[in-house]
Amino acid sequence: MADPLNPDEARQRFRAVTQGRRPTNPALDIATAKARLRQADPGIDIGPALRLLGEGRWQQAMLSVVPWLLSETGRTWLAPAL
């Protein structure tokens, strides 16, 4: 797995995604992202979010994972990045 981001890098990437820009990591493809997310929480269903991302609907994709991010598991996964 890749080295964790420092807080400034994590904030920059988070802002870029929330503003509808593509993340700046060209080495991260969808398959790798899915595998990393499944390692974090095998129970999460990221299919709808990936479909929305593929359609270019960034805001709806982000909103589709909000319930998981607000759960205890999601907050634990997200804490190191923030």
Domain boundaries, the chain: 7-19+29-78
Q: Tell me what pLDDT residue 2 has.
A: 61
Q: Which residue has the tokens 């634990």?
A: 76
Q: Is the pLDDT of residue 1 over 70?
A: no
Q: What pLDDT is attached to residue 66?
A: 86
Quickly list H helices, the chain.
Answer: 7-18, 30-40, 47-54, 58-64, 66-70, 72-78
pLDDT given for residue 30 in this prediction? 74
Amino acid at position 35, single letter: A
Residue 45's pLDDT is: 74
pLDDT at site 79: 79
How do residues 27-73 score in pLDDT, each as one tens digit? 777 788 778 777 766 667 778 888 888 888 889 988 888 888 888 87
Pick from 62, 75, 49, 54: nearest CA to 17: 62
Q: Which residue has the higher pLDDT, 1 or 21?
A: 21
